[in-house]
Structure formats: C-alpha cells, structure tokens
Structure 1
Amino acid sequence: MRHYLHRHQPPHRPHVALLAGIGAMLAIGVTGALSFHANVPLLVAPFGASCVLLFSVPGSPLSQPANVIGGHLVATTAALALHMVLPGTWWAAAIAVGLAISLMALLRITHPPAGADPLVVFATDPTWAFLVMPVGIGALVLVAIAVGFHRMTGTVYPLKAP
C-alpha cells in the first residue's frame, strides 16, 4: 500500500512553488483579459492543466512549446475530424481521446492536458474555427507568457535542443 502513497515528485522549494502559481495566474489572467477585451474566446479548460506543466515543471519534455502547441492542435484536429463523422456520444468521444493520444505519441508531441481537448470538442460541438481560436492562438499565448515569465525569473524555458 505504501507504494501507492509514495510521492515520486521531488519537493519544490516554497518560493519555486509560489512562482509556479503566480506564473499560471498571470498566464490565465492575461489570456482571459485578452479574450474579454478583444471579445474573442481564448480560454478552454485544458489550458489550466497546461499551466500546471508550463509553470510547475517547465523542464519536462511534456511542457515544451512543440508539445503544448502541437499537442493541442493535433488533439483538437483529430477530435474535430472524428466529430464530423461520428455522433456526439460518449463512445465517439472516447475514440477521439484515444486517437489524439496515439497521434501525439507518434509525433512525439505528447501534452497530457491536450488529451482533454476531444472531450471539449464533443461537449461543445464547435466549428473548425475552434482549432484556430481558442486552441491555436490560446496555446501560443500561454507559451509566449511562459517564455517571458521564465526569462524574468531565471528559469530555463524552453529546453535547449541537443
């Protein structure tokens, strides 16, 4: 039973944990403000989970710009395509999630929060414009904010290519 409760994640120093929360708050706040003032939707629920990775574990391969932007775009594209030919049912949404995960893995752009994008697509029945706004532009904004934030706080992000 103990191995189920063991925390494998290394501890964060309190100031690093606080910075992660501040970064996520700024990213969602700026994206929400842009959305409000431009009168265009830029926020979707999976972006909150993207902020967990972008600000709490920016050194993770799953947090890198290609993964964040590419993962959201691939998962949403797969979901929109399947939603055109499958009914808006739970089993169709399940197929879309599975396809999105497989495609992200094959393309090496896995971003776990993007696995929720197909659920958003099947729940809201958006048009193809959803791929650009909020998904594409919103993901770009989050990554841009993360790059700026981490530069200001001295964290290496994104990781350098080998």
Structure 2
Amino acid sequence: MRIFFHTGIIFIVISLFSGCARTNAFTRFDFSKVKERATSSLRTSKINRGDQIYGVFSSVYLNEVIPEKYNGMEYFYITIYTKDGAKLFDPNLLDKRKMTLRLNGKLPVKIKKLESGGKFEGLIPLNNNWNSYYLVAFDEDDSEKLSLTLQSGYFYSQPLIYRKGEQ
C-alpha cells in the first residue's frame, strides 16, 4: 500500500512539473517581422456623433512597419467603417461633404482607395467588405509625435497618437 502511495505522489509531482513547458499558445503563431510591427503600430478609435458611436477608424503607421519602402513622407494604412458608408475626403477632388483626415492638423497630400484583400491584407486583423481601405500620405512632419484624426461637420474620432522611432 505504501508503494502505491509513494508512486502516486511521484507521478503527480512529475506531471505537475512536466506541465511547465517552454511553449505557450503564441509559440504556435508564425508572425513575420512586418506583421509584428503592424500589430504594434495598430491604433483604433471610435467615431462619435454626439453621444452615439457612428463608426470605427483604424490605422497603421507604415513608416515604422515597412521603413525600406515607406519613407520620405508620412504613410498610413487606414480602415474606416461608418454606419452610412461615408467616404474619406480627398483634397484633390474638392468635395467638402466627406470626412477629413488630418495629421497634426494638416490635410493629406495623397489618398489612394484600396480594395479589401490587397497588398496590406493582414496588417489590420479585421478585413471585410463593409470597411473602406486607404493608403494615405502626408508631407513629412518633423515632430516626434504624430496625431491622426478623422472628422466631419457632425462627427469626430479621438486622435490616434504615434511616436516616431517607437518600434
């Protein structure tokens, strides 16, 4: 009887300590460096219309994610979802009824509407057909702190804050 008791205790102790393995759930994921940096760079804000939530606005600062390709200007991959499907204002089209995106108070220089599932797929975890996707470029900003905001005459987002060299 004593042998069974000691064998049982030894088995329990071995089981407890062998359960402390060097792997966890995240070791099974195979993230590339670009995906890791994009996840770290992802910022999201609700778009408010008074006291109501009007949509969601997310961005990835591409200068920190893919610096060998995106440099010389301030580049962002943007996703926007609004209840009524409002589109981003392009200063080159002079349509002031749409949403404006500003970086430290300045309008973008270039806006390119992208299709879902393009070359940036996977940088933002949620890709679907009801979001709008954009590649947006601003003139280079000397400030270390970048504040990206989205607004219209009747709604706004909280600023998405980036610090250069944070990655």
Q: TM-score, normalised by structure 1?
A: 0.29
State the structure with more CA Rg. Answer: 2
Instruction: Give 1 or 2: higher strand fraction.
Output: 2
Q: TM-score, normalised by structure 2?
A: 0.29
* Greater RCO structure (CA 8 Å; 6+ sep): 1
